[in-house]
Amino acid sequence: MLIVLIIFLLTSVLFSLAGFINAVFAQSFDDISIVPTFILMPMTYLGGMFYSVKILPKFWQDMSKFNPIYYMVDSFIEYDCYISNIYFLST
The reported pLDDT for the residue numbered 91 is 47
> How far does Cα 35 stand from its chain's mean position?
14
pTM exceeds 0.75 for this model:
no
Q: What secondary structure does DSSP assign to 37-65, as a single string?
A: IIIIHHHHHHTTSSS-GGGS-HHHHHHHT
- In whole angstroms, what is the distance from residue 55 CA to residue 44 CA? 15
- Answer yes or no: is pLDDT of 58 > 90: yes
Q: Tell whether the torsion through CA atoms of 32, 37, 38 and 44 is positive or negative.
A: positive
What are the φ/ψ torsions at residue 67 (nearest 5 degrees)?
Answer: -95, 120
The reported pLDDT for the residue numbered 59 is 93
